[in-house]
Amino acid sequence: MSMLPEFPTLAKAPITEALIDIQVQLPSDVNIDTLRDIQRRLAPRFPKMDQRMSVAAQFKIGDEGAELVSQPPHPDGFLLSSETEPLRLQARLDGFTIHRLSPYTKWATFSADAKQLWELYKETANPTKVTRLAVRYINRLELPHHRDLTDFILTVPEIAPKLPQNLADYLMRLVIPNELGSIAVVTQSTVPRGPAPSTYPIVFDIDVFRIVQLAPDDPEIWSIMEELRSYKNMIFFGSLTPTFLETFR
């Protein structure tokens, strides 16, 4: 792996949630009961379990037109959590996700937790192949009200010159591939404010993923995760003005 660029650590990073996600193919004999063993083994650490439900639907076109055909909801995994630890774990029939809630500490700690829990998922579910890797960071940016967005964010919606220039709310989604084959889905959206808001809050969501075909034990999984995290950092630091970034140091 080539040397990855260095980025500064922010003491007051605006991260509300970070995720590491690994999607897999499982053997045909692995089912929801197989995944229950993960919950049993992790019960002392994650005593709360919520069942995930999956819903599938498709359009069928026949002589009488289009018809929506849906299947009833069925369980596809579990969400494990604890009231005393800011971690969440999804164990699913299509993969594994670890969530780190605020306060976020540092990547080394987060990725170490992910590696440890991934080993347990592998041991229990016995995946045959890893098909997708992803790193996602959700940030909340508090901007002063009645200020130009470009004072803080470098990629913003641009209103046609002949239209009113006041922007009450917005939702913007960008899909940005890089030369390594990773794809970043960058979403900016405003969130509801009170009747007399003093700030203009924006969710800045960076989801970076790569489609792969890897063995579950391949160390390249974590090398790619490091690259995805570096790409996420490039987007975050490259999207905010230097003055705004200083407020997070």
pLDDT at position 1 over 60:
no
Q: Does residue 62 lie within any of the structural domains?
A: no
Confidence label for 58 from pLDDT (cuts 50, 70 and 90): low
Report the alpha-carbon distance of residue 243 to residue 249 in Å, rounded. Answer: 11
Q: Does residue 65 lie within any of the structural domains?
A: no
* % of the chain with per-residue pLDDT over 90: 78
> ∠ at Cα 234 (231, 239), nearest 5°?
130
Is residue 149 a contact partner of residue 143, using CB atoms and an 8 Å limit? yes
Write the CB contacts of 211 (distance below 8 Å, at least 6 apart in sequence): 131, 132, 181
Is residue 98 a contact partner of residue 87, using CB atoms and an 8 Å limit? yes
- Structural domains of the chain, count: 1
Average pLDDT over residues 47-75: 70
Q: Over the stretch 129-159, which tens digit does the pLDDT of each residue have?
A: 999 999 999 999 999 887 889 999 999 999 9
SS3 165: coil
Report the alpha-carbon distance of residue 212 to residue 165 in Å, rounded. Answer: 44
Q: Over the stretch 104-131, which tens digit does the pLDDT of each residue have?
A: 999 999 999 999 999 999 999 999 999 9
Amino acid at 132: R
Is residue 116 a contact partner of residue 33, using CB atoms and an 8 Å limit? no
Confidence label for 70 from pLDDT (cuts 50, 70 and 90): low
Q: Which domain holds residue 27?
A: 15-56+77-246
Report the alpha-carbon distance of residue 232 to residue 18 in Å, rounded. Answer: 11
Q: Does residue 50 lie within any of the structural domains?
A: yes
Q: Does residue 82 lie within any of the structural domains?
A: yes
pLDDT for res 4: 86
Q: Does residue 66 lie within any of the structural domains?
A: no
